[in-house]
Structure 1
Amino acid sequence: MCGGRLSLSSMLCIFSMVMLLHSVFCADSDRSQRKIVHVTEGETGEVIVQTAPGVVTTHRGGTIILPCRYHYEHSGEEPAPVRIKWSKISEPASFTDVFVALGKEMRDFGPYKNRVSLQEHDPGDASLIVRNVTLADYGRYECEVTNELEDDTGTVKLDLEGVIFPYYPRLGRYHMNFHDAQKACKQQDGILASYDQLHEAWLNGLDWCNAGWLQDGSVQYPISKPREECGKKETPIGVRNYGYRHKEDERYDAFCFTSNLNGIVGLSAK
């Protein structure tokens, strides 16, 4: 606490606490304007965040723990509360608020409301429990721990068990702009796939000539068997990339992803 007589240092301490509390619940604040200080060992009041390497995997409807631990060495008898903030990292390099806690004050945001909470098994445990996982929860998350002066971050990737499938409407190939593709995947109980998901499907043998939209607005397609009708025989195998395309004007097919299917999706090369 910032107790004692109201000296200049006490007033500055009170002011810093007020500003910290204010920042916790400003969900729409511009993250790019906030300076992030990554601390190193040996500094007073350091915060060190550790997250598990690799990915954590679940399925739609499941419960998953995004692991995050922190070590906070404070000076003084009554340290200020630590702020824990979880955000989802979107492409390109934008952040969506998921959950924030300052002491006993906690708040969840948007589609994560009533689905997320801290694990808090012991002091230093900032792991996030996510319940009733949705397709849209797939992706990378940032765990940020902040004290009065410093902070540190770690990232965790949430993956989903599922299947990639190419899709085009009855009208034929290359009739959908990006927004049409989003709607089409949703109608098929899915979402637009990410590059990582498409690449994994290619590693598992997916071969498809038609170029399709992905989640990040790029257009790509996987080739395991080069042939003339799929960009020439001499072209190397792999996920071929058309780059980021105009989301309104240009038209392609779609690569959709879904999880926890009741049936089986069959794929064949074209």
Structure 2
Amino acid sequence: MVLSASVLTILLPLLCASSARPQAGDFCFHINGTASHTGMDKMEDTWRVEGSLADTALLPCKLPMALSAPADDEQLRVKWTRVEAGTEKVVLVAQGGAVKVGQDFMGRVSLPSDAPEMGEAALAVTGLRASDAGRYKCEVTRGMEDRRSSAILSVRGVVFHYRANTSRYSLDFSAAAEACLSVDAAIATPEQLTAAFHDGLDHCDAGWLADRSVRYPITQPRPGCEGDLKSRPGVRTYGIRLATEKYDVFCYVEKLDGEVFYPPSISDKLTLQEAAAECRKHDAVLASPGQLFAAWAAGLNQCDYGWLSDGSVRYPINAPWPQCGGGQLGVRTLYKYENQTGYPDPEDRHGAYCFKGQHFTSFNSPTDVTFSLDAHFCVFEVVIRCVTSGEHFCFVKS
């Protein structure tokens, strides 16, 4: 990534720099907080919080001294909302021991009492889904006093189905785990598959998961895909299976450490060998399926089939175009046979998806570097301002 005339913020994890050392199980998240003061007694904060699919995120909301002082708790009201299309949707409202939770977050949100460093009104969101990403607002009131803050939540990670080149259901448990590793991913957990199901993942092929169970997600029940849930949507399960049994696998990739791109220099379709050579011209290599899925989750949209490092041919779609995947979003795969097995022959001609990793390089022309450490929110924030001219650039590993 090349930055010119820009300001870059890097977040580095640190141990919580509070008076007490953090213990195992303590919450410590990457949080970038910026506060804008609207008056001597009122302050509005905006925090950036990152979480991983199926994990827990804590959205900070600290009370000012006036509200946190001992008083009648019956008067203290905490309200969390999520901003959607310009409107605010209730996530949680708590007052006097009574708690009301919005339908979309039922059983997944709470106000934890064991993370005071995040604020007395912090919101814990469990079982994170990609669709949970967005802006949240916290409002705390007691009588005539009030406090407002907001948090912008981003969720990393994507689950995808993977099948070997040979045929359907050809992987035992060990081979399934190795298959995910070979495409720059890891075998998914049941929790990650469930979160992906709630985000719309639908696949009528059973696959291994990390706990040695075999499951598959169905959002639209149909003949041949009923499983143990019959006509109900949900994640079907075969339970824990013998490690020697053979199925497909569901893989998980957390994030993309680099860039996936379709070379604009491609004018004619390429064989697999030619595609690899084309990527080398751009100081890159053929992208793996895991890297392509991570790029798709980050917004990559390209209606062109392209070779990948495992010999498969796919393309990522984030815009509902009828001519690209029938208007459905996702990564489309080109199979050799009609029963959705086999990869195209290496001599077939398609495009190419290349991957270029990010490497940390010293900054050529930084004009100022500032450091700020928040002792309560486990964050070390480095702000680097790069002023460039001519051939001076700033390179950074994200």
Q: TM-score, normalised by structure 2?
A: 0.33
The structure with more radius of gyration: 2
Q: TM-score, normalised by structure 1?
A: 0.45
Quick check: which one's strand share is greater? 2
